[in-house]
Structure 1
Amino acid sequence: MKKVPYRNQFSKILGLTLIAFLFYTVPATAQDDASGEVAAADAGDAKKGKALFNQNCAACHALNRKMTGPALANVEARLSEEEGLDKEWLYSWIKNSPGMIKSGDPYANKVYAEFNQAAMTAFPTLTNEDIDNILAYTAAPPPSAPAAAAGASDGASGTATQAGGVSNEIILGALVLVFGLLVVMLLLVNKTLQRIAQANGVIVEKEKAEKGLPLWKAFAKNQFLVLVTAILLLLGSAYFAYGWMMQVGVDQGYAPIQPIHYSHKIHAGDNKIECKYCHSSARVSKHSGIPSLNVCMNCHKSIYEYTGNPEGPSQEDLENGYTNEFYTGEIKKLYKAVGWDETNQKYTGESQPVEWVRIHNLPDFAYFNHSQHVSVAGVECQTCHGPVEEMEIMYQYSSLTMGWCIDCHRETNVKVEGNEYYEKIHAELSKKYGVDNLTAAQLGGLECGKCHY
């Protein structure tokens, strides 16, 4: 094989260039990172500080707005410029604020008087390094990364969409071209065969079918076929009519849009809030109840915006419009409904009713008691309502038909041990049936009067 000198020379030059580029770029980057780490170590780690801030401070403080306590953005620089206080003062204040108030410190007492004479919680377990990290976080500039990331993701998705569109057009064009070629080939084959037939003197004649009775007349004369067809049509009509009537009042999958968007996925899923914290009446009442807005405000007095997942919203959430701004806007709707003044942190008294749309609605002739199932039987909410911790929009998971309830009564074992509600009857029924596991059906769960009174 003949060698090509210029190709080998070109490869050597390219390789040396890449090595030189890596040699000068990587050390410089590493040096910059190292210097950045040293600087971060001296001034505190803002990333660690954010975690400490959310864990210890976020319940009462925000960076850029007044809440239960003052805003903490650039707090170290502000106190140094306006009050002449150094970091040592902050160490003492955060670790033992009540002690500084009692000692007569002027600024400590000023803050104490300004915020309704409520002393800040002391954090003696925080080290000076922890406080440095928190201060580094409060001094950090407002993050612009999410917007840039969103823009980048939008650009990336746009590019991907555009690329996908071009690819689809190419595939469609290729299919059209192939189809056109097939049509042309068939026409050519047809003409070729006709020429061959003519050259050999073969004449192809199309046979004409003999005229007979029309199909519908032949069908009408066959009485047996007419009878069978009529029976099949009647049976099919009855089947579909029965199926349609059996769906009357069955709203499985019903997911209405609520006036204020509430995500069970965020509350029950991400934040692990127990169902019965909001639906507390399910323990003691027939109905589970709609939580009052005061229950929402127990948390949302301090949670005034949704920061979401640190990694950002998923692609599915972005497609559905579930962004951090969207959830924050829903919190503002809550504030408007209860009449909450964010600036002054107090109620205005101007509330508005929220017209929630009911999802689960049993017929009036059916009796169902939540407390009997939740408190006595110990049935989990997910048994009837499905995986609510995964639902962005709440919907009716089960059919809630009589057959569905009866099947549950037949298959579900009643918790016998430690159940005082059935303490005596459990003992008698265990002797009667000779088994330890008793179903709701054996306890009368199939009697008509239990549900239809």
Structure 2
Amino acid sequence: MKQVIYRNLTSRIFSLGFILLLTFSTSLTAQEGNPANGKSLFNTNCAACHKLDKDMTGPALRNVEARLADEQGLDRAWISAWIRNSSGLIKSGDAYANKVFAEWNNVAMTAFPQLSDQDISDILAYTAVDPCELNPQSSPDCPGYVPPPTEEGGSGSGGISSNLILGALAVLFALLAMALILVKRTLNRFAEAKGIEIPADEQRKPLWKAFIENQFLVLVTAIFFLLASAYFVYGYFMQVGVDQGYEPVQPIHYSHRIHAGDNGIDCKYCHSSARVSKTSGIPSLNVCMNCHKSISEVAPATLAEGQEYGVDYNAEIQKLYEAVGWDGTGYTGESKPVKWIRIHNLPDFAYFNHSQHVSVAGVECQTCHGPVEEMEIMSQHAPLTMGWCINCHRETDVKVKDNGYYTKIHEELSKKYGVDKLTAAQMGGLECGKCHY
């Protein structure tokens, strides 16, 4: 009987020990971090204030767990407590927590109580892993780095060289001259074959002299040149003040192609006053810093794209920091204005209201400003002439559906014109007083 009890007790002890061992090993396995998942968690929760290799709003976090263990004797339990509630750790009197708090301008780190032990383990694994292991293309120093392909010939490689055009014109004029000489010789041979005698002075007379002696040809040529001159003079004066294609170099390079195109930032996020004001407004540098407090450098592939345009994106971000007074961790108070160069400029006698077009009429920004999401350097896409505006008013149907602004006037004008849709012109968009008063 005692032997049976002993065996059962022994069996239960071994079973309990096995369960504890299995639980402990599972716990250890769960604590092994996943750097790939840690990267995603880092970008979501930490990247707004921290970089791996550079101080920002908070300190650099590369190998933070190993550094704290070696320098301060702190373990992962301390790190977890700090991440989940740094304020509580500071109030508890923890010496190192208060030291960090004082070093970083007495600003407590945002609490992340929602992060599990596994999440923290993944984040710490990401801070400890070699970046080349996650992405060999992250840096030219990585063994597997392959430079991104560049287009040969630059931005002008797809066009026709002006030298090629001039050469083709020169060859064309040479061929015409040879053709005239051959025609003259052929006519002389026909005359000889027919027995027509050509005076010696006529044979030696140059073509230009024969042309001048023909009064009809001189009159026709004079009229042609007068009309052509009038046409070109009229065209020249009509282009005065029309700056279509104007593309100035700004004091800080801003790529609409990257921000509006690649990143999909809505135009009205930066030009917010376009919805409620006459002008679209120049975005404050604080709008830029909403993102660039965390983005001080661009990816190598993006940097290579900028080199194709002769732009160093990282250097341009530093210009932004200098203008706003940002030293990487906080504002210094030493800011300076940026002298932006205006691109779109209507005459003072022409009235244009952005809010009426953007909010009331629902006109897309690209209608007037062109495909800004494809522009590396912003330029004036449309001529912005009176004729261009009038044509738009004649061709554009006003969006009256679910727009209480137009409900009553749409009903009245629909009866007047006998149509279901109304253009801006039919609603008075061609009246002089709409734009000039």
Q: How would you bin the TM-score normalised by the shorter chain? A: 0.7 to 0.9
Q: Quickly say closer, same or farther: Cα 1:121–1:411, change in 2 above 3 A.
A: farther
Deviation per residue, 1:248-299 (Å, 9 max, x gap): 2221111111011111122222222221121122122211111122222233
User: What amino acid maps onto 1:61 in structure 2?
Assistant: H
- 1:337 and 2:323 aligned: yes
Deviation per residue, 1:186-221 (Å, 9 max, x gap): xxxxxxxxxxxxxxxxxxxxxx99441443332223
- 1:248 and 2:240 aligned: yes
- Report if the CA contact (8 A) 1:97-1:122 is conserved: no
**Equivalent of 1:121, from 111, 114, 131?**
111
User: What amino acid maps onto 1:374 in structure 2?
Assistant: V
Alpha-carbon shift at residue 341 of structure 1 (Å): 3.1
**Equivalent of 2:363, from 362, 379, 387?**
379
User: What is the aligned partner in structure 1 of residue 290 from structure 2?
Assistant: 298
**Equivalent of 1:354, from 334, 338, 341?**
338
User: What is the aligned partner in structure 1 of residue 259 from structure 2?
Assistant: 267
Cα distance in 1 between the residues matched to 2:122 and 2:199: 95
Deviation per residue, 1:353-393 (Å, 9 max, x gap): 21111111112221111111111111111111111122111
The range that moved more, 352-361 or 49-58, is 49-58
Cα distance in 2 between the residues matched to 1:419 and 1:225: 65
What does residue range 392-407 of structure 1 map to in structure 2 within 5 Å? Answer: 392-407=376-391
Alpha-carbon shift at residue 108 of structure 1 (Å): 4.8
Cα distance in 2 between the residues matched to 1:73 and 1:431: 71
Q: Quickly say closer, same or farther: Cα 1:74–1:353, change in 2 above 3 A.
A: same
Aligned length: 359
- 1:233 and 2:233 aligned: no
Cα distance in 2 between the residues matched to 1:364 and 1:151: 58
- 1:427 and 2:411 aligned: yes
Aligned-partner SS, 1:340:
coil
Alpha-carbon shift at residue 64 of structure 1 (Å): 3.0
Gaps in structure 1 of 5+ consecutive residues: 1-39, 162-207
- 1:58 and 2:47 aligned: yes
**Equivalent of 2:400, from 416, 420, 435?**
416
Alpha-carbon shift at residue 151 of structure 1 (Å): 11
User: What amino acid maps onto 2:359 in structure 1?
Assistant: S
Cα distance in 1 between the residues matched to 2:49 and 2:76: 21
Q: Quickly say closer, same or farther: Cα 1:71–1:151, change in 2 above 3 A.
A: closer
Q: Quickly say closer, same or farther: Cα 1:80–1:330, change in 2 above 3 A.
A: same
Aligned-partner SS, 2:140:
helix
Gaps in structure 2 of 5+ consecutive residues: 1-28, 154-197
User: What is the aligned partner in structure 1 of residue 59 from structure 2?
Assistant: 70
Deviation per residue, 1:24-53 (Å, 9 max, x gap): xxxxxxxxxxxxxxxx99954434433332
Q: Quickly say closer, same or farther: Cα 1:269–1:306, change in 2 above 3 A.
A: farther
- 1:308 and 2:294 aligned: no
Q: Quickly say closer, same or farther: Cα 1:72–1:156, change in 2 above 3 A.
A: closer
Cα distance in 2 between the residues matched to 1:83 and 1:290: 48
**Equivalent of 1:287, from 279, 282, 286?**
279
Q: Quickly say closer, same or farther: Cα 1:242–1:152, change in 2 above 3 A.
A: farther
- Report if the CA contact (8 A) 2:52-2:60 is conserved: yes
Alpha-carbon shift at residue 443 of structure 1 (Å): 0.7
What does residue range 166-205 of structure 1 map to in structure 2 within 5 Å? Answer: none
Alpha-carbon shift at residue 147 of structure 1 (Å): 2.2
What does residue range 204-223 of structure 1 map to in structure 2 within 5 Å? Answer: 210-212=200-202, 213-223=205-215
Cα distance in 1 between the residues matched to 2:432 and 2:371: 30
Alpha-carbon shift at residue 418 of structure 1 (Å): 2.1
Cα distance in 2 between the residues matched to 1:132 and 1:266: 34
- Report if the CA contact (8 A) 1:98-1:122 is conserved: no
Aligned-partner SS, 1:346:
coil
RMSD over aligned CA atoms reads 3.4
Alpha-carbon shift at residue 134 of structure 1 (Å): 2.0
Provide the TM-score with structure 2 as the length reference.
0.72
**Equivalent of 1:94, from 83, 86, 104?**
83
Aligned-partner SS, 1:429:
helix
Cα distance in 1 between the residues matched to 2:223 and 2:144: 64
The range that moved more, 141-150 or 427-436, is 141-150
Q: Quickly say closer, same or farther: Cα 1:365–1:89, change in 2 above 3 A.
A: same
Cα distance in 2 between the residues matched to 1:293 and 1:404: 33
Cα distance in 2 between the residues matched to 1:131 and 1:287: 48
User: What is the aligned partner in structure 2 of residue 5 from structure 1?
Assistant: none
